Structure 1
Amino acid sequence: GQYAKPRSSDTETRGGVTLPVYRGDLVNRQAFEAEERVPDPALLLRGYERAGLTINFIRALIDGGFADLHHPEYWELTFARQTPVADEYHAMVRSITESLHFIEALTGGSIPEMNRVDFYTSHEGLSLHYETALTRRVPRRQGWYNLGCHLPWIGERTRAVDGAHVEYFRGLRNPVGVKIGPAITPAELLRLLEVLDADREPGDTVLIARLGARQVRQILPGLITAVAESGHRPAWVCDPMHGNTVCTASGRKTRHFEAILDELLDSIDIHESLGSWLAGVHFELTAENVTECIGGASGVRETDLDTAYHTLCDPRLNYEQAMEIAFAIAKRLERNRPVNGTPSHPAA
């Protein structure tokens, strides 16, 4: 989001001065100065370089044992040790460690899969100049692949069936995602799927619902039902962030933790009631101790936002809020544990 931002207006006005809007670090610069808002093609290369650096850093962490379940102490942040979720986190770590030791005692040795993880990348394919430059044919495979990430997705504002983004995405062999907001109708969603999921490959298309806590129960059931009856089998994902963004009286964008959690848990309930399955979640979060989202066990209030509001894009969950969400998901999914080998509800 920091590198390519969809905008509702082409210009921004401050103090009687109007300039082109900031479109993200792939396009222009954030400072409110005329020369900084001029599109700069060199920023496309800088974005590519920083993406490469980030991926290589993640690879180095994994190779160095950061993801090894035998060493959960690698994951802990010093400032989080005295937070309300610390005790629950440490209990979870003890449970994982005990389970791991038990499994290894049964198998008589270490399990290599516990030492590292595979990781995959995803981003909104907003800047088609950038995306097409990274689109290639791959040896010994048919079709075109976007090599900039594993899962590119289309945003809510650029998902028009006859638009350039859908036309580009329909030619990719990657799995592709599409954000769907409260304005979409079942008929419109089916038209999108006919273009993006023409082969009806199960799970090859990802529907990322961002409906908002107030509307999810009214809108999501009709979408799930229409898609199921059509024969398409996409993977459903919940984005409880973007439909719950609000502005404070001072103009700060923020999100309420309780609204985020409500939309997420409601989505799980709706899928379960319809015999469907929520395949994933989408969050904007950081390990930093920021104050950008209101609420949660840490008690961030609206008056606290200016304490550590660092984002230039959308407000993010901080470390503690993210952990609290993770625990809530785990507790909710505990209800779906198999009983005598039978899941509590079927997967779609």
Structure 2
Amino acid sequence: MAIKENTASVLAFEKKLVPSDGRMYGTKWEDRKSAIPLKLQEKSVRGTISNRLKSSIQNDPAKLNAEVEKPNLQTVDVSALGTEEDTLKLHFTLKVLGGVENPSACNNAAFNQSYKTAVKDYISREKFSELAKRYTTNIANARFLWRNRVGAENIEVQVNALNKGSEQSWVFDATKFSTRNFDLNDAKVSSLAEHIAYALSSENDFLMLEIICYAKVGKAQEVYPSEELVLDKGKGKKSKVLYSVDGIAAMHSQKIGNALRTIDTWYPEFGDPATSAGPIAIEPYGAVTNLGKAYRTPRDKQDFYTFFDKFARGEKLERIEDEHYVMAVLVRGGVFGESDK
């Protein structure tokens, strides 16, 4: 086949939302002056056999009894608040970068020029206001707590802008914000979103945010840091390994970032009670790994590459929502080169 014109076989974008790891501390809701770093503890447990068994074992009572009598011994990591602590404190920073119109690598000048023109047109029209509102909502609703958010009586999110000369603070009651939609209009969300949108729209500016979240989960309750991926299962002594930084229980920056970019309500199945997963993380194919499903497939022409190939070459997309989606993937970053054959 002939080589296509205006094709970038080398094309990459740096992420524009850059969270740090989130460190976890224990404190009291009514008195937060002192917060104690949470440690990981090993626990050895004797579980029961509960996995699905072969039919030959299921249908033979003697074999079944022999199987369930076997001890399921496990050593796992856990982390919990102290006996007098009822509140989890999660602390991380978030850097918001501009310059989305400039790929970090692009080997085709014609493509680079048409791409820049399309992005600058989007910024001039939309100014990242919709995406910024959604990112801000996910900060305000404390989606980044993940499992720690469930069953929390009170959740407060404090956000501090750290840029010299532009210091400002916002405080959100996370229980007032839904994690299912982005329809709520709130003055403080709008204020913070303006700062995020300004940074994203800039050519080389940035915004540095400090985010401190307090979740009242109950005295001595277990909390949930990120779980490490164990590549040599069966060889190690622990079946669950939790993440820590400098001895402090922590959440991966990737997991926090995934929560912040869980803003995609534009995929076709959203709103369908039978198949919708609610807002999903921004991904080129709309992948939701825990459901084993891609919500944006090339067959349906709803994936990132279908839209991006048109958008970056100056073609108009049918819906503004598709433009929002394309720009959100670019904010996410990645390697998106296209074969020139």
Q: What range is the shorter-chain TM-score in?
A: under 0.3
Comparing both structures, which one devotes a greater share of its residues to strand? 2
**Which structure has greater helix proportion?**
1
Q: TM-score, normalised by structure 1?
A: 0.25
Identify the structure with bigger relative contact order (alpha carbons < 8 Å, sequence gap 6+): 2
User: Bigger radius of gyration, 1 or 2?
Assistant: 2
